[in-house]
Amino acid sequence: MIDLDFLQYDFMRNALAAGLAASVLCGVIGIYVILNKIVFISDGIAHAAFGGIGLGYFLGYDPLAFGIGSAVLTALGIGMVSSRARVSEDTAIGVFMATGMALGIMLLTLSQGYARDLYGYLFGNILAVTRSDVLLISALTLIILALVFLLYKEFLLLSFDPIYAEAIGLPVQSLRLLLLAMVAFSVVILIKIVGIIMVIALLTIPGAISRRHMLGLPAIMAGSMFLGAIFVTIGLLISYELDVPSGATIILTAAAVFFLSTVLSR
Amino acid sequence: MTEKIVSIKGLWICRAEHAVLEDINLELVAGDFLGLIGPNGGGKSTLLKAMLGLIKPERGSIAIFGLPPAAARSRVGYVPQKTVFDQSFPVKALDVVLMGRYSRTGLLHRYGRMDRQAALEALKAVAMEDRALREIGTLSGGEQQRVFVARSLVSDPQLLLLDEPTAGVDSAQQTDFYDLLCHLNRDLHMAIVLVSHDVTAISKYVGKIACLNQRLYYHDSKELKNEDIEKAYGCPVEMIAHGTPHRVLREHD
């Protein structure tokens, strides 16, 4: 019997709400990340966001807002660079990624006394999610869902065959930048939950499992949302009961299901 | 009066200071079926891309249906050279064909019943209607190619541009495929530009033939002068007529 008394705590209710909203987001954006093969780009964006978070601390403003800002800038930067094709895309990502991390660590250290927060951003601290964080995460999730709903056929065309898409007049470059910006928003939200280091796992594992068992993009997205919600809830419960780090527990839950499903579908 | 479908005048296209296409002149009207041959790197794909408005000319002009190429896209069907895609991509053949309706449906609008109807008919035209609900990755190479042709037909184009569409398709399927193009050309009066390196195969089907290697050798007919081909390929013509220019080029040394 699962003990539901943890729900009497505000921080647990916030954590669960944020986790569920993030699962919906992962379900949708994660699939596009997988299909467009931009897993490495997404990871680079997550790391680069750390530079913005550090700057936010240093200047004494909201670190999350600065994190979103630097993530979006990085996403657009990578998108532009890769379309110019002067610097190869993964080189660009590598440079952005390391620079962002270095800046973040430097600025956080200069800001004195934020070592605990540093840990939280790197490894996630879903229990520190506040009421206003939940509202922000829900609002961003709704905006991104609306965009995907409106541009469903465009994103499908872009993901499947960008060369043909351009030939028949789809604004491929703008859509690609929009997709990267959406990934940037999602990634920063996920940093709150599982931390920079593990963002990519939560973004890709539910989609990777769902893709094996579902047919058609909408079903895969739905399956991926469902799995994300399960991972977050179970991970949260275990971390509460055993008093272990929440981010790592969520990712380990997801990874366990991933390996199990790989072995079983053999 | 026959409408000019393609009108290219004095077209130059350069890439990194080098001319890829030099002074190209080409006119096509309804019902034309042009086979475009030439050595690799001769600019065949570039010419098609210019006709789609994907590459800007350095000099000269291109008009498609009297319009700038980008504005005429909804009347042009395009089958790119070997579509590279993730073979486990979760879409059905019908969904792939529907993508071709984009130029008619436009940004933000959803596909409607008319679009779905058109997609089914396009699949029927390439004899793939019984595969409509199959995942694209589960179809054979030839079947996938047919789906991509259906995708180019679904917008009811009056001009069809095909870039080496039979690459990776076995020879029995190739014959079927060329028969399909002949049907579209003869019975639906679709103008077709077929890019190929297989001279012998396409010469049976096309109405006119042009050879492209930076310059276009074309006499508005199915005849090409031997000296033109020799100039374009840089080797004796009888070698090319029998197919395999690459092996021949080596013997030529």
A170 touches chain B (CB under 8 A): yes
Question: Is residue B32 a contact partner of residue B5, using CB atoms and an 8 Å limit?
Answer: yes
A265 touches chain B (CB under 8 A): no
User: Given a cut of 80, is residue A253 above it in pLDDT?
Assistant: yes
Q: What is the band of A4 on the pLDDT scale with cuts at 50, 70, 90?
A: low
Residues of A in contact with B56 (CB under 8 A): none
For residue range B101-137, what is the model confidence (pLDDT) as tens digits?
988 777 788 888 889 999 999 998 888 889 999 999 9
Sequence-distant (≥ 6) Cβ neighbours of residue A152 within 8 angstroms: B110
Question: Is residue A203 a contact partner of residue A182, using CB atoms and an 8 Å limit?
Answer: no
Average pLDDT over chain B, rounded to whole?
83
pLDDT over 90 percentage in chain B: 26
What local confidence, expressed as pLDDT, does residue B15 receive?
84
Range scoring the smallest mean pLDDT among A54-68, B176-190, B239-253: B239-253
For residue range A32-49, what is the model confidence (pLDDT) as tens digits?
999 999 999 899 999 999
Residues of A in contact with B16 (CB under 8 A): none
Chain B, nearest residue to A175 by Cα: B107
Give the separation between CA A263 and CA A266, rounded to whole angstroms.
Answer: 5
In Å, how far are A6, A17, A65, A127 from A240, measured between CA atoms?
8, 15, 28, 10
In Å, how far are A42, A224, B88, B94, B144 from A34, measured between CA atoms?
10, 12, 11, 22, 22
DSSP state of A127: G
Nearest to B102 among A152, A159, A170 (CB): A170
Domain-wise residue ranges, chain A: 4-260
For residue range A112-121, what is the model confidence (pLDDT) as tens digits?
766 667 888 8
User: Given a cut of 50, is residue B251 above it in pLDDT?
Assistant: no
Domain A4-260 listed as CATH 1.10.3470.10 = yes
For residue range A85-118, what is the model confidence (pLDDT) as tens digits?
556 777 888 888 899 999 998 888 888 766 667 8
DSSP annotation string for B68-133: -GGGGGGGEEEE-SS----TT-S-BHHHHHHHTTHHHH-TTPPP-HHHHHHHHHHHHHTT-GGGTT
Check B95 against A156: CB less than 8 A apart: yes
User: Given a cut of 70, is residue B236 above it in pLDDT?
Assistant: no
A83 touches chain B (CB under 8 A): no
Average pLDDT over chain A, rounded to whole?
88
For residue range A129-171, what is the model confidence (pLDDT) as tens digits?
888 889 988 999 999 999 999 999 999 999 999 888 988 888 9
Range scoring the smallest mean pLDDT among B68-77, B146-155, B222-231: B222-231
Nearest to B80 among A157, A164, A220 (CB): A164
Q: What is the ipTM of this complex?
A: 0.82
